[in-house]
Amino acid sequence: MNKTYRIMRRTAKALLLTTGAALIASAPIAFAAQADVKSSFTKEQKAELDVLLRQFVNDNPELIMESFRQFQEDQEEKAEQSAQESLERYKEGFADRNLPMVGNPDGDVTVVEFFDYNCRYCVKAFEDIMKFIEEDKNIRVVLLDMPILSQSSQIMATIGLAANKQGKYFEMHKALMEYSGSQSEEAFLTLAKDIGLDIEQLKKDMNSAEIKSMISKNRAMSHNLGIQGTPGFVVGDRIYPGYIGKNGLRKAVKEAREVKTEEKKVE
């Protein structure tokens, strides 16, 4: 008799007789092997295993749900740990003064936002940020394009980053955030012309490998930080994957300052 089959058969029978934690924990290991070796089982062996496993699932639905819940928690914990490890690698880069930003360049707390111009919650976040930097003169807000919603999002991102090369990132960013007309490149370029940008130079920069690389890096960063949608924020040592509002921003900055104060005491 196939050795793997004997192990799986014995485990399945034992599960039907007990709900011991050790057996429940070992079951996935034995059952996982089924996908890899099932082709080596006879038709009768496959049928017997199917019956045993179905009987266990039917008799113990609460254990299956608990196992699934524990698996989800473990995966979430691993994802959070991975995101925090990624944040440690990226924090130094967030201090780059060449990144698109608003607020105080020398602010004591840096807020990083991943955004998409076509995201309605990003528009709300923009309004929150504008009010917040008026209220708090000691924060620096880094704006990282994450165009994921449409092709026009990609076009707007490249225009915004190209405008940064002419020293007019914020003006372009504000114009695009407040815009609600045609989603065409021509319309966006008209906005750029209205704020005084050199359109020919802008077009060249929009198609540059540098700007395409910046957008790709932003996407990779957001993925590694566990930010799958927009907006997403990083404030200090914490990641906020979603819209948090002005009060949320205020609280996040306050907590980041408290952490910095405690770190200085330790030093």
User: What is the C-alpha R_g of the chain?
Assistant: 26
Contact 232, 249 (CB under 8 A): no
Backbone angles phi, psi at 141, to 5 degrees: -115, 115
Domain 92-266: CATH architecture, name and number where available: 3-Layer(aba) Sandwich (3.40)
Instruction: Kindly report each contact of residues 263-266 with a partner whose C-beta sits within 8 Å and lies 24 or more positions away, as own/partner.
Output: none
pLDDT of residue 261: 80
- Partnered with residue 101 across adjacent β-strands are 142
Q: Is the peptide bond before 105 cis (omega within 30 degrees of 0)?
A: no
Mean pLDDT computed over 8-12: 60
Q: How far apart are CA 188 and CA 150, in angstroms?
A: 15
What confidence tens digit (pLDDT) does each residue in 221-246 have? Answer: 999 999 999 999 999 889 999 999 99
- The DSSP bridge pattern shows strands 109-115 and 232-235 to be antiparallel
Residue 30 banded pLDDT, cuts 50, 70, 90: very low
Residue 55 banded pLDDT, cuts 50, 70, 90: confident
The DSSP secondary-structure symbol of 242 reads: S
Higher pLDDT: 31 or 193? It is 193
Q: How far apart are CA 172 and CA 194, in angstroms?
A: 10
pLDDT of residue 120: 94
What confidence tens digit (pLDDT) does each residue in 85-116 have? Answer: 888 889 888 989 889 999 999 999 999 999 99
Please give the share of the chain, as a percent, with pLDDT higher than 90.
58
The DSSP secondary-structure symbol of 232 reads: E
pLDDT of residue 40: 58
Report the chain's mean pLDDT, rounded to a whole number. Answer: 83
What confidence tens digit (pLDDT) does each residue in 159-211 have? Answer: 999 999 999 999 999 999 999 989 999 999 999 999 999 999 999 999 999 99
Position 254 pLDDT exceeds 60: yes
Q: How far apart are CA 18 and CA 12, in angstroms?
A: 10
Residue 7 banded pLDDT, cuts 50, 70, 90: low
Q: How far apart are CA 146 and CA 160, in angstroms?
A: 12
Contact 159, 117 (CB under 8 A): no
Residue 64 banded pLDDT, cuts 50, 70, 90: low
User: For the chain, how far is it from start to end, CA to CA, in angstroms?
Assistant: 66
Identify the CA nearest to 30 among candidates 54, 11, 49: 11
Q: Is the peptide bond before 28 cis (omega within 30 degrees of 0)?
A: no
Position 9 pLDDT exceeds 80: no
Within 10 Å of residue 56's Cβ, how many Cβ atoms?
21
Position 82 pLDDT exceeds 70: yes
Mean pLDDT computed over 150-162: 95
Position 266 pLDDT exceeds 80: no
Contact 152, 181 (CB under 8 A): no
- Domain limits, the chain: 3-59, 92-266
pLDDT of residue 24: 44
Residue 83 banded pLDDT, cuts 50, 70, 90: confident
